[in-house]
Amino acid sequence: MNDVMIEVAHLSHTYTTAPVKKKALDDVSMQIPRGECVAVIGFNGSGKSTLVQHFNGLLRPTPGSVRVDGVDVGGAQVNLRALRQKVGMLFQFPESQLFASTIYQDVAFGPQRMGLGRHELRARVKHALDIVGLPLQDYGQRSPFELSGGQRRRVALAGILAMTPRVLILDEPSVGLDGEGRAEFYAYLQRVRQEQGVTTILVSHDMAEVAAIADGLYVLHHGKLVMQGTPASVFAQSEQLRRWDLAAPPLHELLAALRQRGIALPEDVMSVEDAFHFLQQTQKQKQKQLPDVSSRS
Amino acid sequence: MLQPLIDLQQVTYAYPVRPGSAQQESPALRKLSLQIQQGEYVVILGHNGSGKSTLARQCNALLLPDQGQVIVAGMDTRDLASHPAIRARVGMIFQNPDNQLIATVVEDDVAWSLTVLGYSASEIRQRVNEALEAVGIADLRALPPHKLSGGQRQRVAIAGILALRPDCIIADEATSMLDPVSRQEMGKLFARLNRDLGITIVQVTHLLEEAVYAQRIVLMEQGQIVQTGQPGQLLSDIERLRALKLIIPDSLSLAARLRAAGFRIAEDAVTVEQIAREIARE
């Protein structure tokens, strides 16, 4: 067992069906560590969706290679069914893909097709619904269409969790949710990570929303991997990010504006809390210094 | 006293109950009164389900009040014959740009309503040119909408309304499907249309960071207006906003914490630039 879950080497992709041939991915290489939560970030058309569609075999790596858990997904012998069980993908607006008349049936649909026994199936659905905070006994027999947008999205997530994937790919998971729905969704996502040790890959163009939970960021621009690193190191480059049509989180924009005005905030300031303490300290020091200056003069 | 452009008086509205549904629908708007003057830039702020979109739809007669009345430019929305005139003066753009574009080429889409209304070819051409210029996409006029980004497609939708030369544009969560950079640009566009063309802007959103550029914020909860005022007045009470299930931008959180710790930060500093200036001044 090695500690790299997904290994991408020199991956390129050109959409041949487009009227004008466009290179959607251009020589991308990356290694995503097992059990981590990473985010792929980029403006519309930067290639982020194209990249992750290689991870569960929706696209074949040509040219280049993609290995998931050691298995070459471009190999002739690859079992796509097993791969897609291992790598679950939540598409944008997944609640629009709910179709069954009860929440139980909807969540059970995927695992059912894996040929599980009735008890195993029920246990899986129960567990998945527990994780997303919609307990089976309360919600199982209700229609998904009675729920709020955020809850429906969690039903869609449960449908994927019930297949016990080792990798979870989420494409713009919080678009269209309000503050509460978003915070809830991320809280449940954190639980999934903690309880199941799933390697999580977020696709997003919103840095603020991934900053809270991602361990590492990969920035794509015009199909090229242009930056990678911890959120702190990536956000410190807010000028550079603007050039790629990306905005650093609002806090980091404020920090950049403060630095421009001569306040020497260290790079590891990552939260409102950090910034508050730093500014309070500097003010106290200033106040201490002021009387000293006057007494000396 | 100037007559307001949009005047909602004691409006109550409940969505019709679906047959067979056990749930009793509670009213989406409850005795709500609001006046919007010509030339204002108003943000209607609230979380999902607070009634803000219902309020917006009352403003151009997409929904009609169960009780109370809505007067738009002197016309009562309950008078069905006035609807075309009301909608020509108060245009609306929605969340998903893909649901509101119909033509295969950008300029045809912008010209659509004018064509339907029977304007002459030269008049249409002139108005379409103006509208495309105003939203900054004149260079994209010959492209099919699917070739555009989300932010560009919303601009096409706005241009389609501008071509009708309205008094007011209502944007119902029009930025929530856009990326942060396009969202900021959309905010700048609204401010510019308001300032340069005098168009009344009513922006419906659940995002506080979009509210900071408004002249007036209307805060909604459970179908009622809980507060209305300038951004500086409303946005300094962070705890209250949080209780209304709104996401507090980090810049405002930091400003509030510093203020509580004795920093002198003016309450009307709400944008990132203003807050940075205040902090640096200390």
Contact of A140 with A156, CB cutoff 8 Å = no
Taking the Cβ of residue A279 and every Cβ of chain B, the question of whether any pair is shorter than 8 Å is answered with yes
Segment among A130-134, A136-140, B76-80, B182-186 with least mean pLDDT: B182-186
In sequence order, which ranges of chain A are alpha helices (DSSP H)?
48-52, 80-86, 103-112, 118-131, 136-139, 149-161, 179-196, 207-211, 231-235, 238-243, 250-260, 272-296
Confidence band for B126, pLDDT divided at 50, 70 and 90: very high
The answer on pLDDT for A117 being more than 60 is yes
Residue of A148, A208, A276 with shortest CB distance to B257: A276
- In total, how many domains does chain A have? 1
pLDDT reported for residue A295:
46
| Pair of tokens at residue B145 | 């909408």
Sequence-separated (6 or more) residues with CB below 8 Å from residue B20: none
Alpha carbon of B164: minimum distance to chain A alpha carbons (Å)? 29
Whether residue B144 has a cis bond before it, omega within 30° of 0: no
Amino acid B18: pLDDT: 67
At A19 the pLDDT is 61
Determine, for residues B247 and A179 on separate chains, whether the beta-carbon distance falls below 8 Å: yes
* Per-chain mean pLDDT for chain B: 89
Mean pLDDT on A248-258 = 84
Rounded mean pLDDT, B101-121: 90
Q: Which two tokens stand for residue B165?
A: 């030369």
Q: What is the mean pLDDT of residues B204-231?
A: 92
**In the structure encoding, which two tokens stand for residue B260, read together?**
């509580």
Amino acid at B15: Y
- Residue B253: inside a domain: no
A66 bridge partner residues:
A8
Q: Is A26:A222 a contact under the CB 8 Å cutoff?
A: yes
Q: How far is A259 from chain B (nearest CA, A)?
A: 9
Task: Give the contacts of B76 (CB within 8 A, at least 6 positions apart).
Answer: B69, B70, B82
- Is A234 part of any domain? no
Q: Pick the residue with more confidence: A131 or A44?
A: A131
In chain B, residues with a C-beta closer than 8 Å to the C-beta of A272 are: 250, 253-254, 257
CA A61 to chain centre: 22
The shortest CB-CB distance from B250 to any of A179, A246, A249 is to A249
Whether ipTM tops 0.90, in short, is no
Q: Determine the pLDDT at residue A297.
A: 41
A184 vs A119 pLDDT, higher one: A119
In the prediction, which pLDDT does A20 show?
A: 63
Q: Are A134 and A154 in contact (CB under 8 A)?
A: yes
- B158's CB contacts (< 8 A; 6+ apart) are B93, B135, B169, B189, B193
Expressed as residue numbers, the domain containing A105 is 4-229
B257:A182 CB<8 A: no
Query: Nearest Cβ partner of B250 from A179, A242, A272?
Result: A272
Among A130-134, A208-212, B182-186, the range of highest mean pLDDT: A130-134
State the pLDDT confidence band at A17, using cuts at 50, 70 and 90.
Answer: low
Q: Which of B44, B45, B48, B210 best probes binding to A when mutated, by most A CB atoms within 10 angstroms?
A: B48
Is B78 at the interface with chain A, CB within 8 A? no
Residue A283 lies in a domain: no
Q: Do B177 and A175 touch (CB under 8 A)?
A: yes
DSSP reduced 3-state for B205: strand
Inside any domain, residue B262: no
Shortest Cα–Cα distance, A272 to chain B (Å): 6
Check A178 against B263: CB less than 8 A apart.
no
pLDDT digits (tens, 9 = 90+) for B22-67: 566 678 999 999 999 999 999 999 988 889 999 999 999 999 999 9
Query: Per the domain annotation, does B53 fall within a domain?
Result: yes
Identify the CATH number of the domain in which residue B89 sits: 3.40.50.300
Helix, strand, or coil here: B43? strand
Note whether residue A256 is domain-resident: no
Range of the domain at B96: 6-248
Confidence of residue B21 (pLDDT cuts 50, 70, 90): low
Distance CA B7, CA B86 (A): 13
Cβ distance B179 to A280 less than 8 Å, yes or no, reads no
The number of domains in chain B is 1
- Mutation target among A269, A276, A284 for the B interface, most CBs of B within 10 A: A276
Please indicate, yes or no, if residue A265 is contained in any of the structural domains. no
Q: Is B49 close to A148, i.e. CB distance below 8 A?
A: yes
Q: What is the pLDDT of residues A47-84, one digit of tens each?
A: 898 999 999 989 988 889 999 999 999 888 888 888 98
Cβ-nearest to B250 among A254, A260, A262: A254
In chain A, which residues have their Cβ closer than 8 Å to the Cβ of B247? 178-179, 182-183
| Contact call for residues B224 and B34 (beta carbons, < 8 A) | no
- Tell me if A123 sits within 8 A of A108, measured CB to CB: no
Q: How far is CA B144 from CA B102, B141, B156, in A?
A: 10, 8, 11
By the 8 A CB rule, do B232 and B216 touch?
no
CATH number for the domain harbouring residue A145: 3.40.50.300
Average pLDDT over residues A214-239: 89
3-state secondary structure string, B74-120? CEECCCHHHHHHHHHHEEEECCCHHHCCCCCCHHHHHHHHHHHCCCC
Instruction: Name every residue whose Cβ is closer than 8 Å to that of residue A85 and which is 6 or more positions away in sequence.
Output: A114, A163, A164, A165
Band of pLDDT at residue A128, cut at 50, 70 and 90 = very high
Angle between helices A149-161 and A179-196 (to 10 degrees): 20
A251 touches chain B (CB under 8 A): yes
CA dihedral for B166, B169, B174, B175, sign (positive or negative) = positive
Contact: A263, B280; criterion CB under 8 Å: yes
pLDDT of residue A296: 46
Closest CB from A176, A258, A279 relative to B176: A176
Q: Point out the residue among B47, B181, B253 whose CB comes nearest to the CB of A180.
A: B47
B17 contact A CB<8A: no
| Domain contains A296 | no
Q: Residue A250 is nearest to which of B47, B249, B257, comparing CB atoms? A: B249
Residues of B in contact with A279 (CB under 8 A): 258, 263, 279
Q: What pairs with residue A4 in β-bridges?
A: A33
In angstroms, rounded to a whole number, what is the distance separating the alpha carbons of residues A34 and B116?
Answer: 58
- Residue B264 in contact with partner chain A when CB distance is under 8 A: no
Beta strands in chain B (DSSP E): 6-13, 29-36, 41-45, 67-72, 75-76, 90-93, 168-172, 200-205, 216-221, 224-229
Q: Do B48 and A175 touch (CB under 8 A)?
A: no
